[in-house]
Amino acid sequence: MKVMVIGEGGREHALAWKIARSPLVTRVYCAPGNAGTALLGQNIPLKATNLETLKEFALKEGIDLTVVGPELPLAMGIVDEFQEVGLKVFGPNRKTTELESSKVFAKEVMTTGRIPTAPYKVINTFNEAIEYIEQAEQALVVKADGLAGGKGVIVCSSKAEAIAAAKSLMVDKIFADAGNRLVIEERLWGEEVSFLCLTDGEDILPLATSQDHKQIFDGDQGPNTGGMGAYSPAPVVTPAMFDRIVEEIAEPTIKTMAQLGRSYQGVLYIGLMIDQEGPKVLEYNARFGDPETQPLMLRLESDLVPLLKATITGQLKDCQIHWKPQASVCVVMAAQGYPGPYEKGKEITGIETAEALEDIEIFHAGTITKEGKIFTNGGRVLGVTSLGGDIAQAIERAYEGVKKIFWDGAYYRADIGQKALNRAYR
């Protein structure tokens, strides 16, 4: 079968890498892809948001399955467009994707389904934001209602910071119309984890646990990014906690969405905060996480393609999923200046040397090939991903790979996986 992966990041490279290993797959296309996906199949120079042209290509080439990586084409309705002409596509439709594309809608779902989350207020004007912040007694988190590339959540340590955050979103429009409305909520404390599951609208197949590192600097300092690294499994999610997440959060979310007439088919990403009371929802995403997908795909023993097909056809109840027992760590190498302004076009060396190391895969994100050489082409550039017998060994191997790669201005966090390591030795 022919499979097309939509997107150009590390998540898409990891998905294409796993899909290409399926005995069911004869050819992989990536649109638009990157320098890494070009080694797995054929890159198609079509933007992920060019829905009509993507649909025409899929029809012309007889694509048997399309897997959508990023949130924006999902929010634009790519699944609806493809399904209307009989194309099989993995991902939730436009109405269902509002679980990610609208923080306000997500909170309404949590309220309706009695799903544990932080107390919140929907804000429609900047003056309303000021009034609410001034009377707040707890630390606050300010969230843009719409999509902001994973950067629309601002954790604040003071009222002044919260007001400044609201101003940047609502008045300065740093994320355009995404900040027309806000969700302001009490800050939750604990340890963040990512919980992903496949769902066909009725049944749920949880994936292995993972943990992202959002902030740009070591020690979870600085502004949020799209993610600076991840590891799997996340030891904070004990077997008992895993069951609670499924029973108290994942299943009620899917049930509530169905009751609202928005049957959810695809992968559901649940961002959680875990404290002594248990798990609480920070956010939902309607697609695979980036960079969580990289370690997950490296650990996945099962063939991914039948799982994706079963999600589409409503047959997940018949599926099982198997994982390698090893731990996996992904360290993101980024361009200097990210998540702010950064330069592109820096030549990258050492990728082949790093890939030659044992149990290392280099997943490309912001890369491009010119005249046989690889150059930076984005903020997050590479995800150096490893397998290890335990988390300590996986960390060691990942950073061994990182140190083999160079370009002018390369930046990475030096503490990816440290939380898991600390917890393992408590």
The reply to whether 202 and 267 lie within a common domain is yes
Instruction: Give the single-character DSSP code of 290.
Output: T
Length of the chain equals 426
- Residues whose CB is less than 8 angstroms from the CB of residue 369 and which lie 6 or more positions away in sequence, other chains included: 35, 38, 375
The pLDDT score that the predictor gives to residue 424 is 54
What is the three-state SS of 20-89? HCCCCCCEEEEEECCCCHHHCCEECCCCCCCHHHHHHHHHHHCCCEEEECCHHHHHHCHHHHHHHCCCCE
* This prediction's pTM: 0.95
- Residue 218, pLDDT score: 97
Domain assignment present for 104: no
In this structure, the answer to whether residues 204 and 303 fall within a common structural domain is yes
**Domain-located, residue 85:** yes
Nearest to 155 by CA among 132, 193, 123, 184: 184
User: Do 143 and 69 share a structural domain?
Assistant: no
DSSP state, residue 316: G
Query: 296 and 405: one domain?
Result: no
Low-confidence ranges of the chain (pLDDT < 70): 424-426
pLDDT tens across 383-421, in order? Answer: 999 999 999 999 999 999 999 999 999 999 999 999 888
Sequential DSSP letters for 148-177: -TT--EEE-SSHHHHHHHHHHHHTS-TTGG
Give whole-number Cα distances, 325 to 14, 169, 245, 349, 354, in Å.
Answer: 19, 43, 21, 32, 23
- What residues make up the domain containing 257? 191-318
- pLDDT on residue 422: 79
- Whether 235 is covered by a domain: the verdict is yes
Domain of residue 249, CATH code: 3.30.470.20
Which pLDDT value is given to residue 425? 45
Which residue is associated with the tokens 């997940």?
316
DSSP H/E element including 231: strand 229-232
Claim to verify: residue 133 and residue 63 sit in the same structural domain: no
